[in-house]
Amino acid sequence: MFGNEKIHNIEVRRPLSCTLIDDGVYKGRIVATDFREMDSKFHASGKREVFSMKIEVESEDGEIVYLFYSVNYNWSLKGNFVKLLSDFDMLPDEGECLDVTDFIGLEVTVTVINNEKDGKKYSNIVAIEKNLI
């Protein structure tokens, strides 16, 4: 199927431009990870570095929606980054490396709650856990 044969009648679905879905618990899949710099009111520099995951979920009406889950990047044992790695059984030993692309493809369960900021509503992932196979 993935050789040199021609592919016809491929159907792809464009995701919703709005990432607002109902509050609730959803099954999903991590489709991308990265590190990025974000604005911060709590850091002297006005910036913070986060580890971010793009998660694909299906809304109740069958539409594909992409949500993001980010945690501050630091190796503090009390920090959310280390907790996430530990919860996913991916915390490397001291001095060892972590390949964050290992997250891609993992099936997860996310809890979503909608919040409003500056008059606009957003769907936020407030909890994430790796699905057991």
**61-81 residue pLDDT tens:** 888 999 999 999 999 999 999
**Residue whose pair of structure tokens reads 């604005």 in the numeric block:** 39
Residue 92 maps to a domain: yes
Residue 49 maps to a domain: yes
Contacts of 104 (CB under 8 A, 6+ apart): 30, 31, 32, 33
Domains of the chain: total: 1
| CA–CA distance, 87 with 95 (Å, rounded to integer) | 20
pTM, full prediction: 0.80
Residue 16 maps to a domain: no
Residues 4-60 have pLDDT tens digits of 444 455 555 555 555 689 999 999 999 999 999 888 888 788 898 999 999 999 988
Q: How many residues does the chain have?
A: 133
Residue 113 maps to a domain: no
Residue 15 maps to a domain: no
First-residue to last-residue Cα distance in the chain: 27
Residue 54 maps to a domain: yes
Q: Are strands 107-117 and 24-39 parallel, antiparallel or unpaired?
A: antiparallel
